[in-house]
């Protein structure tokens, strides 16, 4: 199957505004507590970069990353989650926020949250730019949510299809070429 860019779903200005609002919400929720932000590679990198720059300079933030794979080169999650890069730091007793680009079925994030809970963090929350609740197969508590989107495959602002379109500054739908 071949795919092409569809319409802009979320404009650059709207993304920027919402990311700043989410940073403000995180700052209000955590105050002066030290945070560990865990970016889920690779899709969350662009969002995470903008998010940390929007947090107050006074906040003490440590970054780490988890690399996971559940899509391969498909537009549908395989349901099989592989950790391809684990955390480098110990999160025991720490305030941790998992930063995700998109929550779709919730299976990948549920798997990650279970693994991270076993590492005994003080708190463990989810911050997701995009939420696609119509596809959910498991309950996920998203403490900080950017946008709820319809059941469409999307790219841009870090999200890709088979390695393409991560660099787009806006979020687009992807359509099958006719």
Distance of CA 26 to the CA centre of its chain: 15
- pLDDT of res. 24: 97
Q: Name the token pair of 127.
A: 């911050």
Residue 139 is a catalytic residue: no
- pLDDT of res. 176: 83
What phi, psi does 170 have (nearest 5°)? -125, 170
pLDDT digits (tens, 9 = 90+) for 58-97: 889 999 999 987 655 444 555 677 889 999 999 999 999 9
175 pLDDT more than 80:
yes
d(CA 63, CA 168) in angstroms, rounded, equals 24
- pLDDT of res. 79: 60
- pLDDT of res. 36: 97
pLDDT digits (tens, 9 = 90+) for 24-48: 999 999 998 999 999 999 899 999 9
State pTM to two decimals.
0.91
Strands (E), 32-161: 35-41, 61-69, 82-85, 95-103, 123-131, 144-148, 154-155
Domain count, the chain: 1
Catalytic residue among 101, 104, 125, 160: 104
Q: Quick one: which H or E segment has residue 7?
A: strand 3-10
Residue 107 contacts residue 137 (beta carbons within 8 Å): yes
CATH number at residue 103: 3.40.50.2020
pLDDT digits (tens, 9 = 90+) for 95-138: 999 999 999 988 889 999 999 999 999 999 999 999 999 989 99
Structural domain of residue 132, as residue ranges?
3-176
């Amino acid at each position: 199957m071949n795919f092409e860019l569809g319409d802009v779903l979320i404009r650059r200005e709207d993304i920027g505004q919402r990311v700043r609002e989410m940073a403000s919400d995180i700052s209000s929720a955590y105050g002066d507590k030290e945070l560990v932000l865990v970016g889920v590679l690779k899709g969350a990198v662009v969002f995470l970069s903008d998010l940390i720059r929007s947090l107050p300079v006074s906040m003490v933030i440590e970054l780490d990353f988890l690399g996971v794979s559940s899509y391969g080169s498909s537009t549908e999650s395989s349901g099989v989650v592989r950790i391809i890069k684990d955390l480098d730091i110990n999160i025991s007793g720490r305030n941790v926020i998992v930063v995700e680009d998109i929550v779709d079925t919730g299976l990948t994030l549920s798997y990650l949250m279970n693994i991270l809970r076993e590492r005994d963090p003080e708190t463990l929350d989810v911050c997701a730019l995009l939420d696609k609740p119509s596809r959910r197969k498991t309950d996920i508590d998203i403490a900080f949510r950017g946008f709820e989107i319809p059941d469409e495959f999307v790219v841009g602002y870090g999200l890709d299809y088979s390695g393409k379109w991560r660099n787009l500054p806006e979020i687009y739908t992807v359509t099958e070429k006719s």
